Structure 1
Amino acid sequence: MNPRALRYLMAYSADVQHQASELLAANKLGEIIKKRHPDKHTLSSANLLYAYAQEIKNEYLRSSPPISKVIYDDKIHVVDHALGLHTFISRIQGNKLKAKHEIRISTLFRNTPEAFLRMIIVHELAHLREKDHNKAFYKLCQYMEPNYFQLELDVRLYLCHKEQYGDLW
């Protein structure tokens, strides 16, 4: 087994890491993930991705600052636990300060289940209100996606499987 495959689970308990390691070694982890999340999403274009994120934002974070862009970014590699990025850009135009919020998602998630994409977008949208990964941040994530923690684990298990055996979808 590839020893780097479990790097996505470093923040989880030894028990979770051990179970994942056993399933990965037996090549059963992909089967479990695929059973939970059988189909990939159809949000392949930037316009569809933006509309999807905007819909979630409008439902849960209406009073938060607008998002100007939501795109897949092939420059984002899943390093240091980053699955997506929320960027805040300020520019001076004339005598006004213009601010833009952008969400960039690794292209790795272009062909994954919608639930994985939702988890990442919810995470990045939560940064509109909470900059740090604190208790309030994760409470907001769970407000927008009650199954947030399970989905985050599933995404990380998928990354372990992908590292060892390749894509599932």
Structure 2
Amino acid sequence: MQQLKYFQHYPDNLQAQIASLIKEHKLQNYFKNKYPCGHQLQNQQVLYQYCTDIKQRFLKNTPRLNNVSFTKHTDMMKGTLGTHTHKQHRHGQKLKARYDIALNNQLKYAPEAILRALIVHELAHFKHAEHDKAFYKLCCNMEPDYHQLELDLRLFIVLDELALNFYKLS
């Protein structure tokens, strides 16, 4: 089953549960029960404010977030789900920094909790470049259910791949 490639580092028993969920066509019901509706952050200004609020709550001493947007990527897993960029440039005697977050356009049609997990992930990169223990500790500090939401994000990718993403209709 090709979709299990997203779960290779998970324990065998969890992979078996995921395979069963997919094979028995219960993935869509899982999402309908757990996340009945998609997020309402379709406007770039609302999305920016949402991210800024999370950043201000947990990362007060980091530079200002300049831009957050949905961008077109060809495929959620072949491309990327989200990116963070940090650019520095000189402006006279001052060193200016710019922090941007770009989220995969397909995440416009996702549950709010899934989108929040990805935003938390990208914001954590403001403090930690690598996916190390400190990085995941910060993610869990910002979102206590981070690891479950990361798993659900991977399941969402499968849902979208199988053309079962019912959030696009709402």
Structure 2 length as normaliser, TM-score? 0.91
Equivalent position of 1:39 in the other structure = 37
RMSD of aligned Cα (Å): 1.6
Selected match of 1:164 from 147, 162, 165: 162
| CA-CA distance at 1:82 after TM superposition | 3.4
| CA-CA distance at 1:76 after TM superposition | 6.2
Query: Which stretches of structure 1, 4 residues or more, deviate above 3 A after TM superposition?
Result: none
SS in 2 for 1:137: helix
Provide the aligned length of Structure 1 versus Structure 2.
167
Residue pair 1:73, 1:107 contacting (<8 A) in 2 also: yes
| CA-CA distance at 1:166 after TM superposition | 2.9
Residue pair 1:85, 1:124 contacting (<8 A) in 2 also: yes
**Aligned counterparts, 1:134-145, within 5 A:** 134-145=132-143
Q: Give distance in 2, aligned partners of 1:140 and 1:71.
A: 23
SS in 2 for 1:24: helix
Residue pair 1:85, 1:104 contacting (<8 A) in 2 also: yes
Residue pair 2:73, 2:79 contacting (<8 A) in 1 also: no
Residue pair 1:86, 1:124 contacting (<8 A) in 2 also: yes
Q: Give distance in 2, aligned partners of 1:12 and 1:125.
A: 24
Equivalent position of 1:151 in the other structure = 149
1:28-72 Cα deviation digits (max 9, x unpaired): 012112211111111001111100000001111111121111110
SS in 1 for 2:56: helix
* Greater RCO, 1 or 2 (C-alpha within 8 Å, sep 6+): 1
Q: Give distance in 1, aligned partners of 2:49 and 2:60.
A: 14
| CA-CA distance at 1:26 after TM superposition | 0.8
Q: Give distance in 2, aligned partners of 1:165 and 1:26.
A: 16
Q: Give distance in 1, aligned partners of 2:74 and 2:132.
A: 23
1:59-107 Cα deviation digits (max 9, x unpaired): 1111112111111011363235832111111223334332111111101
Equivalent position of 1:66 in the other structure = 64
User: What is the identity percentage for the equivalent residue pairs of Structure 1 and Structure 2?
Assistant: 37
Q: Give distance in 2, aligned partners of 1:142 and 1:36.
A: 20
Structure 1 length as normaliser, TM-score? 0.91
**Aligned counterparts, 1:1-169, within 5 A:** 3-75=1-73, 77-79=75-77, 82-169=80-167
Unaligned 5+ residue runs, structure 1?
none
Unaligned 5+ residue runs, structure 2?
none
